[in-house]
Structure 1
């Protein structure tokens, strides 16, 4: 799907999505710990790529990170600026983050890559690698399953990825995989996360 199609699908339900999922205390406790531990490694500029309602951006901003949330859904950015006025947000595509090469020390991509068509995902991973300084850190969260298998997400079509295939694509894009995790919570799709560093 194109950015415009995904953006329109989220825009139509942005208020509902924010009400249901737009707060850190509504997230899984293990995800909070995972993201907080990841952030402890980083000093310098960070982007929350595909920040949605902005709750993770604010969570890390409150912990002292120099972080900016970006999303291509203007309704999310407008709401995030209102709800979290001390944090920084702007509208941007993940295909072109609008920052100089090597200018970031961290990128959080927490469930923000799931709607990318399989042929587009390597393009975005290369863009994330471009923005990061040497040894800059990336954390990706996604749904684990058969690679590139589509499913009907509550908002619009999304894709599963296996840990092996996502790790391979990250390595191809210039990352070194540091650690991986998977989790199966009752009633939810399988969760996976990969922490990586630019080589």
Structure 2
């Protein structure tokens, strides 16, 4: 990774590269057995279709990991590709889902023209973005979305200033920062970036989870209708 890439991205990339194989083996599909998450993904698909027109703009799974979310979106009929900061995660996703496209990249600077995405899904990936970078990430979302396109976020909910550094996972030494935020704080950042909140859901911890799971659905506002012209009598 280039030296001008922010330090937190370098650390996130190195950490997920180190655990990619074990992570993918343990989480081949974290949506399985999660009816709420699956239902919200279906709502996202319907919102994306509503603004896709005859030529549906592709949606992006940001922080795509092993690729199971992109695969679910593909199965639901959306054109989709995945983006992950970890080259090893991208390689595993390509191997598991050869029919889909996965790219190495970062949500902080998407290599996409303005207004080209029909939706963005980011499940448990914004937790690795520090507070001072989150506004620019959501501004980037706004830039690349077509008017009316939805965003689905999932993250572990916590105190506004909650922070944890993981130093070990799957027997590997890592340095991975996690930022815990309330839905209200994230919703405020979305609004400041010009994204309208559509729905918020909070699920209580289950199956050994330590924190509630927050889900926010937002969308880039649709373009206002053009000026009305009077018809001749």
What TM-score do the two structures reach when normalised by structure 2? 0.81
Tell me how far 1:70 sits from its aligned partner: 0.6
Pairwise mapping of residues 70-149 of structure 1 onto structure 2 (< 5 A)?
70-149=83-162
Shift of 1:37: 2.2
Q: RMSD across aligned C-alpha pairs, in angstroms?
A: 1.5
Structure 1 ranges of 4+ moved more than 6 A: none
Distance 1:13 1:27 in 2: 24
Change over 3 Å in CA distance of 1:47–1:25 after alignment to 2: closer
Aligned equivalents of 1:125 and 1:147: distance in 2? Answer: 18
* 1:28 match: 34
1:179 equivalent to 2:192? Answer no
Secondary structure of 1:13 counterpart: helix
Name the structure with the higher strand share.
Answer: 1
- The residue that corresponds to 1:197 in the other structure is 219
TM-superposed deviation, 1:123: 1.1
Distance 1:113 1:25, change over 3 A: closer
Q: 1:37 to 1:80 in 2, by over 3 A?
A: same
Does structure 1 residue 19 correspond to structure 2 residue 18? no
Shift of the 25–196 alpha-carbon distance from structure 1 to 2, 3 Å rule, reads closer
**C-alpha displacement at 1:164, in angstroms?**
1.0
Structure 1 residues not aligned, in runs of 5+: none
Which of the numbers 7, 13, 26 marks the counterpart of 2:13?
A: 7
For residues 19 and 112 of structure 2, the distance between their equivalents in structure 1, rounded to whole angstroms, comes to 29
Partner-residue secondary structure (3-state), 2:146? strand
Tell me which structure has the larger Cα radius of gyration.
Answer: 2
Which of 144, 158, 168 pairs up with 2:188? 168
Alignment check: 8 A CA contact 1:21 1:27 kept: no
